[in-house]
Each structure stands twice: as structure tokens, then as C-alpha cells.
């Protein structure tokens, strides 16, 4: 037997999870390079950190997905962020502890974290 509050909580939680199946043209896409080079450089904990952070903040309009080798293996782990209507931003040499800043500043407040981008690394 569930109380009304418990039912509503389940509904909200499931809704957030099932959003993934709806139309997503307007979503911000976070793409993590997960080829051999990316995984070897530590891309998996980075993606896990993104998934955690997105869940923690309950962000509805973000999809996290993976992709193959982007080509600059020496800068892996690489994460690209696509905000609809804006140019893509490439973050390089990512570590899990850099993720909260990107989520907060870039995904939520739309300010690119320039310190971590490919331009800063070069």
C-alpha cells in the first residue's frame, strides 16, 4: 500500500526517466568520446560524473550520450556540448571533478567554462 505522496513521488521520478523517450530536438547534448583512447584516458568516470550530476540537479533537457574517437587522442577524455542554436563547445583532458562546474555554469547558466576548452589547452 502506497500513500498518495509516495505515488506522486514515483510518478515524478519515472517521468524524469521516461523523458528520454520523448522528442528531444531542443535538448542540450553532452557527448563523451568513448573510443579505446577515451576509455583508456578515463572517459568512463567522466561520463558517470555527468550522469550523476544531471540526475542530482534533475535536469530535464539534457541527454548524455557517447561517441567514438574524435581524433585528438592526446587530449582525451574529450567531451563535446551541443546547445541547440549555438556552436558546439569541446572540453578536453576531462576529469570527474571538472564536471560539476561545467554542468552548473554551462548546462544550467549557459556560460562556457573557457578554462577547460580545447582553446585553453592548445
Binding site for another protein (CB under 8 A): 1-4, 7, 10-11, 13-15, 17-18, 20-21, 24, 27, 31, 34-35, 47-48, 51-52, 54-55, 63-68
66: cell is 557517447
Residue 35 C-beta: closest distance to another protein, Å? 7
Q: Which is nearer to another protein, 7 or 120 (CB)?
A: 7
Residue 99 C-beta: closest distance to another protein, Å? 12
Q: Which is nearer to another protein, 4 or 111 (CB)?
A: 4
Residue 64 C-beta: closest distance to another protein, Å? 5
Residue 96 C-beta: closest distance to another protein, Å? 11
Q: Which is nearer to another protein, 6 or 115 (CB)?
A: 6
Write out the chain in H/E/C secondary structure.
Answer: CCCHHHHHHHHHHHHHHHHHHCCCCCCEEEEEECCHHHHHHCHHHHHHHHHHHHHHHCCCCEEEEEECCCCCHHHCCCEEEECCCCCCEEECCCCHHHHHHHHHHHHHCCCCCHHHEHHHHC
Beta bridge partners of 67: 33
Q: Which is nearer to another protein, 2 or 74 (CB)?
A: 2
How far, in Å, CA of 50 to CA of 5, rounded? 29
Amino acid at each position: 500500500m502506497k500513500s498518495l505522496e509516495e505515488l506522486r513521488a514515483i510518478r515524478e521520478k519515472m517521468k524524469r526517466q521516461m523523458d528520454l523517450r520523448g522528442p528531444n530536438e531542443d535538448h542540450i547534448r553532452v557527448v563523451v568520446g568513448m573510443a579505446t583512447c577515451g576509455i583508456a584516458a578515463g572517459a568512463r568516470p567522466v561520463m558517470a560524473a555527468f550522469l550523476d550530476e544531471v540526475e542530482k540537479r534533475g535536469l530535464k533537457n539534457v541527454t548524455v550520450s557517447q561517441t567514438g574517437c574524435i581524433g585528438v587522442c592526446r587530449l582525451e577524455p574529450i567531451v563535446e556540448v551541443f546547445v541547440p542554436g549555438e556552436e558546439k563547445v569541446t572540453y578536453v583532458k576531462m576529469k570527474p571533478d571538472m564536471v560539476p562546474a561545467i554542468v552548473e555554469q554551462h548546462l544550467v547558466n549557459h556560460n562556457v567554462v573557457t578554462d577547460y576548452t580545447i582553446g585553453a589547452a592548445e
